[in-house]
A and B are shown apart, each in its own frame.
Chain A
Amino acid sequence: MNSLIWHIIKKDLRRFRALLAMWCAALVIRVVAAGLVGNDTGGRMEAGMVILFVLILFLNALMVTRVVAEDSPLKEAAFWRSRPITGRQMMTAKVFFLVVWTLILPALVVVAAGYAYGFTGWECVAVAAGQLIIHASIGALFLTTSILTQRVWAAVLGVLVLLVAVQISRGARVTPEEASPFESVSLGLSGVSVATAVGMVALGAAVTWVYRERRRPVAAAVLIAGAAGIYVAGEFWRVDFLGWVPALERLEARVDPRGAGKVRPLKTNASSSINGVNYRQLQAALEWTGSTPEELSLPYRVEGRVDLGNGTELMQSRKIRRSAPYDLGPALKELGVENLQSYVQGLNANHVTLAELTDREMGRLEAASSMWTGKVFTVVGGLEVRARVPVKPGARVEAGAYRIDVVEVDFERGRLEIRIVERQPAMPKWGDGALDSGYHILGRDFALINTRRKEAMVTTGGGNSCSTQDSFLKINRTQLQFGPTTAGQILDREELAEWLADAELVKFRFREDRRVVTEATVALAETL
């Protein structure tokens, strides 16, 4: 990098020092505030975090727009245009500046904060990747529009129009998030964001060219075509993020993914019309049962190609449907609970809905024939104790980034309710399954264990649950409800109080071992 590029970077540093100071302050305040949210019971901090996150996105957009507008490539009157600096040098300086401040810095801040909060290495990587994608998406959108429009307000307006158009087109579908190949709900812009981030390289090349050649009509065409291409890619290019994660390869498998299955007839799920073209979402369902007596098996994401006779269709699981709660039995036994007379074991059968096929025509889609092949991701494992905490208001347990606060214990009305606040690292949606070792479902994986009486109470449900998720930290509040013990019903308050005196609240987690099986073949038992 030559001295002129550094010269421009230094100039921009001086120019935007106030904005950068605000930006840094917002980034730091957010991660610090995220750590304090767990202590806040009123929800004001959570609301503040959301506002702060929006502010950060706004500052990000503002920074990109202003940095570009400062030395616009298309403005004839721009000062740099008559100076001895090439478009390539100017572009390098701008991109370097923006990458350092809007991509690397937020990622580093989050990694540092994550490390301080006790995140694991993978969790740090995941949250940093989430930051990179969010800011790169915002940056790409605003970089494109600010170059074309050359005005901050016009860029903001342009992006808003773009987003509204995208959301309208996505909203025309019945289940936009689920239809997204990226399922990146937490990224706000769904698949478009990720695709935009992926398209940064292409856009960067286009922008460099614009800086060098400075032909506005061609530039507009290139950038609009680029943005459209990225959008199309976001819609139709299925990015197999899970397949990219090396951790998937090394984890052991306990369950053979082969299993019996059956195909249901294809049926219309929803239909809508965009610009006169009818879209029809057809759902083919493969119900797959996999079970083992001791281990839980959870088919996580399944995709494969279905032989339709006249061609193949890509099928991909769109949601996990768990038919029963975890079977806590083996885990309780391991913790010394012997009296399991009243314990109703959860089903360990799991179902997965396979495939969502979208067809632009209203014509009937042929039913799948007899088999599918492809890539299967399975998540297997068992329950582990994540945390133990006494059943007393104010009790707290911390394990790494994970923290539980027992806020209130109430058994006045004949049943036991415990209100808790959980804090855990938040992941981008696509990272939830791949990288978050603490993946869990609220209220399903708690138990009260009385080791003296060798009994336990398992949750019968969760109430008043809510979750606040920043791109960095997730806060769950829930009210746990407990029913009878594993030995039987407790009939009065005194006995319950006595029972609780020796009990502790145990938070389990599902230990996720993952396996990728390529080219799995499942013979379908029945075709309906």
Chain B
Amino acid sequence: MNVIETQELRRTFGSKDAVRSLDLRVPAGSVCALLGPNGAGKTTTIKMLMNLIRPSGGQARVLGVDSRRLGAVEKARIGYVSENHEMPEWMTVRAFLDYCREFYPTWDRELEAKLLTRFALPEERSLKHLSRGMKMKAALLAALAYRPELLVLDEPFSGLDPAVREDFVRGLFEATGDGEWSILVSSHDIDEVERFVDWIAFIDDGRLVISESLESLQARFRRVEVTLADQMMIRAEELPPAWRDLQQSGKLVRFIDTAHMEADGGRLYAERFPGAAMTAGPLSLRDIYLTVARMTRV
């Protein structure tokens, strides 16, 4: 069961294709990171999923409903936090929460109180007088307090300092620790995201490049270091296409294997570099991201 599923989803702005034939799926209960460089189409995709803009083609289903028909009932099951979303800034934090509460029958006042304390939000201060970080925390609180089935976060960490990010993520953990939550988060902050996501969708230039679990992704990507027995020049085109980012310094050769198979036990490396000493280590999500970004630009 997927909470989000798109089929050939497309959106154009004039002559520019912002999203092209996107086939994305987010399994229920997963925490999915939507990664991609600036202008890749992340926010446009999320806006289509939230029925804020209409797709130019294709289809998206969110919680089993066509995104274009996403109504009040479905929106009561979705939490949405976006850096671009306008908030009623004239309201105090308290008034804002009171205002939001009425929309959601499932609003959990205990959770609200807990998060209010966790985020240390000043209840009587108006939103316009809050820092950016505080504002995002208030938005997250208002999105978590009714325990939505699906939480959509669009660049939530953008412009936040590390302490606020920590608060933000802890609050997220605290709220989503119990119950079945599905989260879709688009972000540039890969290190932060890596701490809690289990599914990765990478889009670039409006196209989906990768969509798989973090576990599988990390198992598939390996940084390989080879110490050659003899001095020889290795050329990239001589290597399998899945071996990327070749670097050589004397006898030391480094590359990234994007299709590593653990069961293979390094047989392919040994065949290609006979007699060489080899190590293959895991990559951080950041390195995987950078590798994929480079791959798609080639």
Contact = CB atoms under 8 A, between A and B. Distances in A.
A15 B102 CA distance: 17
A48 B265 CA distance: 92
A271 B54 CA distance: 51
Interface in B78-96: 78, 80, 82, 84-88, 90, 95
Interface stretch (B68-76, B115-123, B211-219): B68-76
A92 B74 CA distance: 21
A431 B72 CA distance: 46
Interface string B45-57: 0010010111000
Interface residues of A, number: 20
Given A15-B90, A76-B52, A76-B53, A86 B72 contact: yes
A14 B91 CA distance: 9
A4 B71 CA distance: 14
A83 B88 CA distance: 13
A82 B104 contact: no
B147 to A, nearest CB: 14
Given A7-B102, A11-B99, A77-B84, A82 B50 contact: yes
A75 B86 contact: yes
A215 B52 contact: no
Contacts of B173: none
Contacts of A83: 75, 100, 103
Contact of B75 (A14, A76, A79, A84): A84
Contact of B85 (A14, A82, A214): A82
B54 A215 contact: yes
Interface size of B as a range: 20 to 34
B62 to A, nearest CB: 12
A85 to B, nearest CB: 6
Most buried by B among A3, A14, A76, A214: A76
Contact of A4 (B52, B84, B86, B103): B103
A68 to B, nearest CB: 14
Nearest to A76: B52
Chain B contact surface mostly:
loop
A14 B78 CA distance: 27
A83 B82 CA distance: 13
Contacts of B90: 15
B149 to A, nearest CB: 13
Interface string A322-345: 000000000000000000000000
B84 A85 contact: no
A84 B86 CA distance: 16
B52 A81 contact: yes
Contacts of A3: 102
A77 B85 contact: yes
Given A77-B86, A79-B88, A84 B76 contact: yes
A78 interface: yes
Contact of B73 (A4, A78, A84): A84
B34 to A, nearest CB: 17
Nearest to A85: B72
B46 to A, nearest CB: 10
Interface string A205-239: 00000000011000000000000000000000000
11 contacts: A7-B102, A7-B103, A15-B90, A76-B53, A77-B52, A79-B88, A82-B78, A83-B103, A84-B103, A85-B72, A85-B75
Given A3-B102, A76-B47, 9 more contacts: A11-B88, A15-B88, A75-B86, A76-B52, A77-B84, A82-B52, A83-B100, A84-B72, A89-B72
Interface of A: 3-4, 7, 11, 14-15, 75-79, 81-86, 89, 214-215
The 8 tightest CB contacts between A and B, nearest first, are A84-B76, A84-B72, A84-B75, A82-B80, A76-B52, A7-B102, A77-B86, A83-B103
